[in-house]
Amino acid sequence: MSLIAGNITAGYGKVQILTNVGINVAPGEVHCVFGPNGSGKSTLLKVCAGVLKPWSGALELDGQNLLGFLGHEFIRAGIVTVPQSGGVFSELSVLENLQAGGLALTDKTAVRASIESMLERFPILREKKQARAGSLSGGQRMLLAFARALVSKPKVLLLDEPSAGLAPVVVKEVFGLIRDLRAQGPAILLVEQAVKDALPLADKVTVLAQGEVQFSGFAKDINETELAKAYLGLAKA
């Protein structure tokens, strides 16, 4: 199930943020999007998640046109986001957060089974099932955000800076989890500032600056230093 965005131009109100951005994420592949603050990374994810309608361009999942789909239809189609900072509902319990991950789905038996498999996979979430999500540590909240996203067995997983604000040891765990997930086959679009940690995981890389693609290619063809150079160049631009 490849997610293909082509020539996306998008913005907020009258302010244009993205200009002709294209991206192609294939199953079992991690596609990293790097770029300075404010370069449009989260905006691109919002377009891919159906949260922000592009002004023009194309968006397809395995040949199916997604433009015109509503937000919950994106989730039903299999496109799910882990938003920046996880976005768990602090006032809800861990279990209620997991249930929220299945809200858009109609097969409630499958949702219950899927929640159970998440509790099996992440024992800490079972232990804290009834606890308020707001009482969890930063790392546990990110784990919950991943588990909530996985409840619907996504075909495309959109991850917005999952390592941000986490302790280094937790960052390692999060990247380990992404590595495991890739092996299970979803297409993963990973926005990150932690280039050093993310690059070894990446199959493809896109660098954005000021809402435009500056570089797009295979991760094996670039190294961290080159990327940092590109970054520094971009940061000055």
- Interface residues toward Mg ion, by CB under 5 A: 41-42
Length of the chain: 237
- Nearest residue relative to Mg ion (C-beta): 42
Nearest to 157 by CA among 101, 107, 95: 101
Among 8, 40, 49, 66, binds ligand ATP (CB under 6 A): 40
C-beta closer to Mg ion: residue 41 or 148: 41
Coil, helix or strand for 181?
helix
Task: Tell me how far apart the alpha carbons of residues 217 and 221 are, in angstroms, rounded to a whole number.
Answer: 7
- The minimum distance between CB 108 and ligand ATP, in angstroms, equals 33
C-beta closer to Mg ion: residue 33 or 147: 33
Among 17, 47, 118, 207, binds ligand ATP (CB under 6 A): 17
Which residues have CB under 8 Å from 33's CB, separation 6+? 23, 41, 44, 45, 189, 190, 191, 192, 205, 206, 207, 208
Phi-psi region of 181 (alpha: psi -120 to 50; beta: other; left: phi over 0): alpha
- The minimum distance between CB 162 and ligand ATP, in angstroms, equals 12
Among 41, 141, 182, 204, binds ligand ATP (CB under 6 A): 41
- The minimum distance between CB 202 and Mg ion, in angstroms, equals 18
- The minimum distance between CB 211 and ligand ATP, in angstroms, equals 7
- The minimum distance between CB 193 and Mg ion, in angstroms, equals 9
Structure tokens given for 211:
């809402």
Sequence-ordered alpha helix ranges (H) in 6-155: 41-49, 71-77, 94-100, 108-121, 123-127, 138-150
- The minimum distance between CB 43 and ligand ATP, in angstroms, equals 3
Q: Is 206 in the site for ligand ATP (CB under 6 A)?
A: no
Q: Is 39 in the site for ligand ATP (CB under 6 A)?
A: yes
DSSP-derived secondary structure letter, 170: H
Stretch that binds ligand ATP, among 41-49, 109-117, 130-138, 145-153 (CB under 6 A): 41-49
Among 43, 81, 163, 206, binds ligand ATP (CB under 6 A): 43
C-beta closer to Mg ion: residue 34 or 175: 34
Among 6, 7, 12, 167, binds ligand ATP (CB under 6 A): 12
* Look-up of token digits 């930063």: 138
Task: Tell me how far apart the alpha carbons of residues 50 and 59 are, in angstroms, rounded to a whole number.
Answer: 9
